[in-house]
Amino acid sequence: MKIVFFGAFLACICIVTSCTKEGFLDKTTTTDLSETSVFSDSARSMDFLTNIYTNVDFSFSLTRFNGAAGLDASSDEAEGPLSTTVTTYNQFASASVSAFNIATDAWNTPYTQIRAVNQFLAHLPSVPFNDMLKRRTRGEALFLRAWYYATMLKHYGGVPLIGDTVYKESDKINTVRSTYEQCVNYIVQQCDDAASILPASYAGLDYGRVTRGAALALKARVLLYAASPLFNGGSDADGDLKPLVSYPAYDANRWSLAAEAAKAVINLGAYNLYVDNNTKSGYGFYQLFQKRVNSEYIFAKMTPDNKDLENLWRPPSSGGSTTSGSFPYQNLVDAFGMKNGMAITDAGSGYDPANPYSNRDPRLDFTVTHNLSQIYVAYDQLRPVYTYDGEPNGNGFGAGTPTGYYGNKMCNDNVVPNYFFNVSSRCYPMIRYADILLMYAEATNEFEGPNQEVYNAVEQVRQRAGLDPYQLKTGLTKDEMRKVIQHERRVELAFEEQRFWDVRRWKIADQTDSQTMTGMRVKKDDNGNYTYVIENVRKRSFRSAMYLWPIPQSETAKSTDLRQNPGY
């Protein structure tokens, strides 16, 4: 039987116009050029490779599902819009996700791009590049192939590895899943091979292409996941299905390998946190996302100047969308502690329920828009946002937002959706240095316990955040430090495609994603005083099968060799 198991199998050649003033990945066009005409021309060959970058952020996208919301709304971070529609994020919230209704992009997009990588590598020896450029672009291609496989690995566990093969429509395609271990080893080797030939950095129009640091960082992320409870012998699958979705048995040394890989990125000395606590506390955490070029981004999705996030997340009165963009839960807001580093539930923290956003971790205001947040509502007009009941512009709880909150992560304070001339030069972080520091801290803590290097890594992130004091309590146990690191990942990396995967690899999603999610209703009295009342928004549900995604039924129906994930 001839089987086609990924979409767009014979997709047309896609060409990216690379020489724009903004960078190498800004404008895209398509054409019906043949393979011969593409790979006999150096510019077209480079454009073919560049086009493989265009989907690196599909899983990260905040409008991934139906243009409305992404993995943030599929987890305990946020409520998605259009709560009654059939969407992947609502199916995760209600535990109704199945092989028949799951989004297929995590299967189709990677295999389409992996095939494109294999096409490029097959033709590379004859492409009219000089030897140095052939070497560099081979490194880029190897990384991109590893990136797309790594994306599939965290969705499904082991998937069929197709090597360098470029299948034709008449070929019988391999649909036997490789084991989880085989996939990890393959991706790590691809990363090592790429790192050995990639440059340390780029300048000018090539900024944003894959570097040696990006290859090493992807390796660190894959090894961190491999060491984590879900995959490190922790799958509940039985028999011969278990090696497909995890290692068969736990091995503590996997944490050591992950720590070494993260340390290799740190030791490059090429990256650092963007720190500015002088303008105001934690301002560096805001600024880094506004800087297209910065020393914290290790790998980023390059974009043209845009106001995409402002259009997505600003309140209706400021021109924001009412049908796209997720809305932070109170549960996430409560995870942000006080500026003094204490949790809001700690005695002596200074938290005031009557003034709940005062003296909080500065990252809260840079992540969430709440009642009285100051944002630009028109060019040069900085005004507070009001979300109280009866607010006349439709911004309140149950009107513009189902939770009482709007997103603010990575938004630019000076960009107004309905003002034509304001745009941001942002690009989107796929891997950044703060993540590497927390990876290193987590892996080292699990293998060696909370030594000084663990403290140093976590405290760097807390110091940049503007916490005062930023130092952790001394003498923490491994379990206590684990909770600290998990907390820091939640607040530092919110809305960056981390939380959905973190709670799964830690194997705690049955707790975090199976609870009543809440929001904040604000009431205003005749004297202008506000009362804050926590309200239930949704009872989320979770079942153990949801630790992994189901392989789409449209794929498993094509071959009995393609094993489905447990519980589906």
Q: Which amino acid is at 330?
A: Q
Burial 321-334 (b: 16+ CB within 10 A, else e): beebbbbbbbbbbb
Long-range contacts of 504-508 (CB under 8 A, 24+ apart): 504/230, 504/547, 504/548, 505/154, 505/224, 505/225, 505/228, 505/229, 505/230, 505/231, 506/228, 506/229, 506/230, 507/228, 507/229, 507/230, 507/234, 507/547
Helices (H) and strands (E) in the chain, counts: 18, 12
| DSSP strand pairing (381-384 vs 406-407) | unpaired
User: How do residues 205-257 score in pLDDT, each as one tens digit?
Assistant: 899 999 999 999 999 999 999 999 999 999 999 999 999 999 999 999 999 99
How far apart (Å, rounded) are the C-alpha atoms in residues 50 and 44? 10
- The first and second tokens of residue 393, run together, are 């512009």
Q: Which amino acid is at 553?
A: Q
Q: Dihedral of CA 177/182/188/192: which sign?
A: negative
How far apart (Å, rounded) are the C-alpha atoms in residues 555 and 540? 28
- The first and second tokens of residue 296, run together, are 């914290």
Q: Is residue 66 within 8 Å of 86, Cβ to Cβ?
A: no
Which pLDDT score, from 0 to 100, does residue 321 have? 86
Residue 72: name the closest of 51, 54, 87 by CA: 87
Domains of the chain: 14-248+547-556 (1.25.40.390)
Q: Is residue 148 within 8 Å of 113, Cβ to Cβ?
A: yes
Q: Say if residue 135 is exposed, middle or buried (CB neighbours under 10 Å; 0-12, 13-18, 19+).
A: middle
Which pLDDT score, from 0 to 100, does residue 95 have? 97
* Helical ranges in 371-498 per DSSP H: 433-448, 452-465, 478-492
Q: What are the phi and psi torsion angles at 246 (to 5°)?
A: -165, 175
Cis peptide before 469 (omega within 30 of 0): yes
530, containing H or E segment: strand 530-539
Q: Is residue 387 within 8 Å of 317, Cβ to Cβ?
A: no
Residues of the chain with pLDDT under 70: 1-32, 377-380
How far apart (Å, rounded) are the C-alpha atoms in residues 152 and 158? 8
Q: How many CB atoms sit inside 10 A of residue 528's CB?
A: 6
How far apart (Å, rounded) are the C-alpha atoms in residues 220 and 475? 27
Q: Is residue 427 within 8 Å of 297, Cβ to Cβ?
A: yes
Which pLDDT score, from 0 to 100, does residue 375 have? 83
Give the 3-state secondary structure of residue 419.
coil
523, containing H or E segment: strand 516-524
Query: 394's torsion region: left (phi>0), alpha (psi -120 to 50) or beta?
Result: left
Burial 200-224 (b: 16+ CB within 10 A, else e): eebeebebbbbbbbbbbbbbbbbbb
Map tokens 């189902």 to a residue. Answer: 402
- The first and second tokens of residue 420, run together, are 């034509």
Strand partners, 360: 338
